[in-house]
Chain A
Amino acid sequence: MSDESFVLVGTPMPVIKTTTNALGESKRINPTRDLEVRDEQGRRRFHGAFTGGFSAGYYNTVGSKEGWAPSEFVSSRDKRSEKKIARPEDFMDEEDKQMLMDSARLTTTDEFGSSESTQRELEKKRAAAKQAAGGVLGALPDTLIDDFVVPSSENVGVKLLRRMGWKPGQGIGPRVTKRQKKSKDGQLSDDDVDLPANMTFAPIDSAIVVFINKSDNFGLGYDPYKDAPEFDRSLQARTESKYLSESAGGRKDGMGFGRFDDDDDDDVYGSGPAPLRTLDPDLILDDRSRSQRKKSKKKEIQQSDALAPMFCSDGRPPLRGFVLAAAPLEPIKLYKPPKVPRDFVPHHTFQDMPKPVATLRKNEQPKLTADDRALILGETPIDAPRRSVFEYMSAQTKRDLDNALGFVMDTEGDKSLRKDHWTVPQIDKGAAEAALRGFMPFGDNMAKQNRYKQYLNVQAGISDEKIDLVEGFTAEGMTKELNEFVQAARIFKPLTSSMANRFMSASTTVQLAPPTAGLRSAADTEAARLAGTITHAVVERMEVPKSQAAKAAAMGMFGPLTRTVIDFYPVKLLCKRFNVPNPHPDHKDTGPEAAKDLLDKDTMDKMMTNRRYGEGMSAEDATSRSSGTDAPGAMNDTGTDSLAEAEEPEVLEVIPERPPMDIFKAIFDDSDSDSDSDSESEDKDESDTKGEAARGKDTVSIGATAIADSSPLDAKDAKEDSPQVPFRPVFTRKTDRSTSSTTSRPAEKRFSKPDLSHLNEDEDEDESEIGPKLAIPSASNLSVKKKSVSLVDNAGVGGVAAVVEASSPDRSSSPSSDSLIGPVPPTLVAADAGKRRKSASESDQDSHVGEKTGDSFASKRHKGSASSSSRHKSSSSKLDDRTDRHSRSSHSRHRSSSKTRRRPRNDGSDDDNDGNKDGSDTDKSGASGDEESNKKRRKEHSSSTSSRHKDRQHREHTSRSRSKSPTSSRRKSHRRDKDKGDDRERQSKRSRDEKSSRSTHRSSRHRSRKHGDDGDNDEDMEDLWVEKEVKIPERERTPDNPPLRVAPPSNRPRATSFF
């Protein structure tokens, strides 16, 4: 009804129906990873490690939950258990059974004639076949099988015959009368009485005579297997198996009706039993001819016909079955054996074969003594005193001899063996002098120490005393002690000389014979070894390099050298359990408790201080250091200050001596210096920027850089320019913190600590100074304002174009690119700035996952961001100039924060990616570098928090006005998101940093553990170093000792790359 009210226009599109397979799943193409293999029940067949599990072993084994269920035990006492024969089918699953069914079609069905006639017929056939064939091969298997296996369906010939009136069991041909039949067969003789005379009978069915073509070359009637029944059997088996396999292969059609001719896929070559195939081809039945026979009987007959008229050479035709060869046989060619030369020796000797070992041995035998031979043979040496002629003399004779020849010789054996003799072992004069200057061991036994000193004095040639036998000593003991002295002198040297010992000399001298060309046999080398020409340097165990402490320990001189004492910070609960007060109440945990308070103002400030004063310094040190210069008014009244000022001339002297940056770059800055960026202290960041700034690339940022420079050197500069107002406020900010910790500290600590920090700071400076010093080559005396101005002027040379591009290329500008891009070879630094910028931006972009904009976009954005940031910087610096009471720290914060901001904007303001990126950073940079970079990041964050808000304002303003890129709006939205998640992100990042640094620590520990003793020794050495360095400030405590710098950085071993 309702259908009629609608008008259908056009033919409706066929319904797109999803084709489904048998399991009801749609057949749309799945990606490869989603494809699953299932069986017909829809169960998964293959399981991954995490998807399979229980069901993998549950469902897919034998199809039951239980798997192989053990058969139940049935007592056979009253019930005989049936003998169960396991069939293969029992162990098959459905699939296997299906396969078996598919393959096994050898089944008798009811279609096979069960009628009497057929059976009779078969019997007859069998008999006939037996008759026809006879002999051993009589019951030819093929016919036999043919008869057994009667086709289930009639072929066309049979059908035709039926149509013509033939019935099964009848013979073929015209019907015969009774008489005719009788003459042929006496079968029907019984019932001929009843039969009418005119009755005709079907002809008697007779077996078809199969004429077997003789295709072999045997004689007639020859049976090759007559006397070899095993061959016969194997042949039989072969044929049988062949037919069996044929029938098993699903061949239903019968044989004997001419269809046999067509099968040419008989595998006649491959499937025969092995013994037959290994026979002489003449002896075996020719398989090939058999197959040929099967293929085409006619052809063969024709062939034989065609060959028949040919006659043999004697005029007679060839024997039946033989064929004359078309071409005469080629006579076998026989070659004469080669003539053996007369002087031929049946044993081959090489021209340059080494002489037999025996002769060599004979030659060198006189060289070996009996002892040598014993050694070679591995005999244990006889533990007996040295043999000497004098041993065999009587005591009286010996005495006489001594009296007579006493001035010439001493018969009483080796001097060293004598009880009352002792020798003074000699050491180098230099060694003795060095030992005198070094550590004096035997501090617990002053007498011994004095003897040691005396010995050294004698050896150094300072005194001419003769070392006498000390009373209470035996000669043996004296020798022992002197040897001890020698060892001690070897060990206890001043550190400078022990530095030289870092370079190991080879423990053994390898003296190799000049190599001779050519091959050598094993006997040869053996001979050479015996002769001792080859020194086996490898065999000798290399002496393990031992540290000083290890040497001392080996000598049994345990004590200060083998002992190290470090601070150990038990946790609160541990102290509680041990019922002891916390030994380090000032020590702050670096554990998870500390991580909580990372955003504290206090922590922030600490981090800021750390950054400013270098890595090796703790926050306390920094605080105490800065405390002296804290209050603007209290500049000159504390002792610390004067000390600091006294230092300054020294520092200033150092600065101009530093060679230009390029030399450093050329030496240290490798193309693959990923590690370079890793090992740098965080100051390097800024200093690098400055270095580039000095080259006039970054004009606008220089002002800010110069002012905001917070490297220790400049801090000193600041102190030097004490009247300069803008520097002061850095320190005022920390007064609240420093008052608590520093005021209560004893004065001496104040003295020592800053010096310590100074040392540490120097360590860091060695690498990081480079930038700042170059940036301010000689302007250290200028005021800050002047400095900024002059530097702006300097940089003005670079031009405006450089201004725009300055921000991105240098490594330091975007810390993220630091580890990702890898630094550029130093030669390229100056020349290919533009190219580098491009590459940097590209790789920068590559590194950020979320970004999808193209190259052009990125570069545009880079430009935009760079210009905006630089603009911001300049404006901020102006602003700061205007607000003249603005602190220097705020300057620096501005600077660093703007830098921090600049980085994300280089990333296309994808601050959301910040976390990811940082993570990747951490992964990529080396283990040691991690901590550095982490600190760097942390610091940046800390700095950024202070003036973030302001900065953002700037940034938004500039980006709104300047950036023309289509992504600006997107960026804004991003920023809004970022504002929300900023803190959270930072927190997470920090925790990550913590983790990574911890892991670094662990890995380093692991490394050192792997190094084992060596690492330990190194550590010890370093500890010694530290101890040494620590001692210096103590000396300074005395007023007459002027404060001194320990050593110029270039000379100090730590600054070099040997460590």
Chain B
Amino acid sequence: MPKGNSRKAAAVGMSLAATLAAHRGSTDNSGSSNKKTQQSARKTGGSGPAEGAGGSSSGVLSLPSSMPTSATSLSTAAPPRSSVLQRLLKQTGPSSSASSTNQKSSIPLPSSLPIYEDQVVSDATGAQINACQYNTTGEYILTGGVDRTVRLWNPETRFCIKTYEAHGWEVLDLAISPENGKFASCGGDKTVFLWDVLSGMTIRRFSGHTQRINAVDFDDSGSLLASGSYDATIRLWDCRSQLRAPIQVLEEPKDSVTSIQIQGSNLLAGCVDGSIRIYDIRMGKLTTDNIFEPVTSVSFSKDGNCVLASSLDDTVRLMDLSNGSLLNAYKGHKNSQYKIRSCLSNSDAFVLSGSEDGKIFIWDLIEGEVVHQIEAHSKIVSSIAYHPKEDKMCSASVDGSIKTWTSQPNP
């Protein structure tokens, strides 16, 4: 998922937590705890932007002026039930499947879809790219790949600003801290590297995993890192203290953990054992949704009520977080062997995913129909990231190319 939205996600996640807490409060008889959680949620939501602003002064990537406004505006608006879900739930009744075929042609191609090639940030000459991420402002792109480096690009000028070299093995995933001053990368080193963006040096190296690390993510405050590894564990690392050992090792996954996302107090993990695990730290509950297909990519929807999960049966599923039911399944692309990232658009209106035939598929979230396919790359589209603010996206491929896409046709 595009990391740039973590700010927004934080706010929404907090609101979700609050609603959940409210839910719990209704079931419990004691109302005091409810209040407390709500208070704490508010506290986190408020403190988040402050920290972000403080951190941004040191970081290179951030635009401090834009950040607090968006965060505050979002934190105030906290819908109890997601708009996505509501939209989906409107579509009830058995006729949906039958009627959808007719509607396919009638869906107007929305102008907001980033389907026009904007820039070729990197030609298909480099090594395989495994991960690409926008920074929280969307100005820069960070990519990591088989060439053991992490590169910082300016997508507008196609200029590679910095190359971060310390990895001894391929880079498999990246995570940018919310204040943009740091980022984390992981890969075959079995070590999570925490980098300083400015200096280009590693600040910390968290080692403890016994196998390669597939996924890494920051929490919303940037003080915690979660890493999921092939050794079937998720480790939570503390960035704030100098603790070498992980804060906690989650050993519930039964197979390689392929994808991780933290949103609010929820930790989402996709696992090859076919399950989506949601660690609700606030509630102290681990929810496991089994889809019985190796899950390769998971991400929360922006409102935090749904989970988008790609699995190796050529399907992207949208699962309801509250009861684990399947809201929609998106098919048409090819994804049976490789880890291919999927993401949602900023408005949660579209589902985007790469494909093993080099295309990018865009589905309508509600209808589940392919809205558009882009012949993006010559090889597998390994990673896709949506711009945190605008209707843009970037995609990276195994052929080494990185491309950005806009909604406006390029003259």
The 0/1 profile, CB within 8 Å of B marked 1, for residues 573-595 of chain A is 11101111111100000000000
Interface centre among A445, A476, A1009 (most CB of B within 10 A): A1009
Contacts of B236 in A (CB 8 A): 574
CB-based contact B265/A578 at 8 Å: yes
CB-based contact B324/A477 at 8 Å: no
CB-based contact A568/B279 at 8 Å: yes
Contact of A578 among B92, B255, B281, B287 (CB under 8 A): B281
| Bound complex: CA A1002 to CA B232 (Å) | 12
Contact of B248 among A480, A574, A1008 (CB under 8 A): A574
Q: Return A1007 CB to nearest CB of chain B, in Å.
A: 10
CB-based contact B287/A563 at 8 Å: yes
CB-based contact A574/B281 at 8 Å: yes
Q: Return B298 CB to nearest CB of chain A, in Å.
A: 14
CB-based contact B281/A553 at 8 Å: no
Q: Is the CB of A1020 closer than 8 A to any CB of chain B?
A: yes
Contact of B288 among A476, A546, A563, A574 (CB under 8 A): A563
CB-based contact A568/B238 at 8 Å: no
CB-based contact B97/A477 at 8 Å: yes
Which residues in chain A, 518-560, are within 8 Å of chain B measured between CB atoms? 546, 549-550, 553-554, 556-560
Contacts of B17 in A (CB 8 A): 580
Stretch from B35-43, B152-160, B340-348, B398-406 that touches the partner: B35-43
Q: Is the CB of A416 closer than 8 A to any CB of chain B?
A: no
Contacts of B251 in A (CB 8 A): 1002, 1005
| Bound complex: CA A507 to CA B69 (Å) | 62
Contacts of B92 in A (CB 8 A): 445
Stretch from B126-134, B217-225, B351-359, B380-388 that touches the partner: B217-225
Q: Is the CB of A846 closer than 8 A to any CB of chain B?
A: no
Stretch from A31-39, A466-474, A1028-1036 that touches the partner: A466-474
CB-based contact A563/B289 at 8 Å: yes
Contacts of A1009 in B (CB 8 A): 232, 254-255, 273
Which residues in chain A, 299-348, are within 8 Å of chain B measured between CB atoms? none
Contacts of B323 in A (CB 8 A): 559-560, 563
Q: Is the CB of A721 closer than 8 A to any CB of chain B?
A: no
Q: Is the CB of A565 closer than 8 A to any CB of chain B?
A: yes
Number of A-B contacts (CB under 8 A): 145
Contacts of B60 in A (CB 8 A): none
Q: Is the CB of A793 closer than 8 A to any CB of chain B?
A: no
Contact of B326 among A549, A550, A558, A565 (CB under 8 A): A558
| Bound complex: CA A569 to CA B250 (Å) | 10
Contact of B324 among A470, A558, A568, A580 (CB under 8 A): A558
| Bound complex: CA A1015 to CA B33 (Å) | 38
Who on chain A is nearest to B266 by CB?
A578
CB-based contact B287/A565 at 8 Å: yes
| Bound complex: CA A1020 to CA B224 (Å) | 32
Q: Is the CB of A564 closer than 8 A to any CB of chain B?
A: yes
CB-based contact B265/A562 at 8 Å: no
**Contact status of A580 and B37, CB under 8 A, knowing A575-B281, A1012-B255:** yes
Q: Is the CB of B292 closer than 8 A to any CB of chain A?
A: yes
Q: Is the CB of A766 closer than 8 A to any CB of chain B?
A: no
Contacts of B286 in A (CB 8 A): 565-568
Q: Is the CB of B283 closer than 8 A to any CB of chain A?
A: yes
CB-based contact B247/A559 at 8 Å: no
17 new A-B contacts, CB < 8 A, other than A558-B326, A577-B247, are: A477-B97, A549-B290, A553-B291, A558-B324, A559-B326, A562-B324, A563-B324, A565-B286, A568-B280, A568-B285, A571-B248, A577-B219, A579-B47, A580-B40, A1009-B273, A1012-B273, A1013-B273
29 contacts between A and B (CB under 8 A): A477-B95, A549-B292, A562-B291, A563-B288, A563-B290, A563-B324, A565-B285, A565-B288, A566-B285, A567-B284, A567-B285, A568-B279, A570-B279, A570-B284, A571-B247, A574-B224, A574-B281, A577-B238, A577-B240, A578-B219, A578-B224, A579-B40, A579-B43, A581-B282, A582-B284, A583-B285, A1009-B255, A1012-B273, A1020-B290
Listed from nearest, the 10 A-B pairs whose CB atoms lie closest are A583-B284, A563-B324, A568-B286, A558-B326, A1009-B254, A559-B325, A580-B282, A553-B292, A562-B290, A472-B95
Contact residues of B with A, CB < 8 Å? 17, 29, 33, 36-37, 40, 43-44, 47, 92-95, 97-98, 219, 221, 223-224, 232, 236, 238, 240, 247-248, 251, 254-255, 265, 273-275, 279-292, 319, 323-326, 329
Contact residues of A with B, CB < 8 Å? 444-445, 448, 470, 472-474, 476-477, 480-481, 546, 549-550, 553-554, 556-560, 562-571, 573-575, 577-584, 746, 1002, 1005, 1008-1009, 1012-1013, 1015-1016, 1020
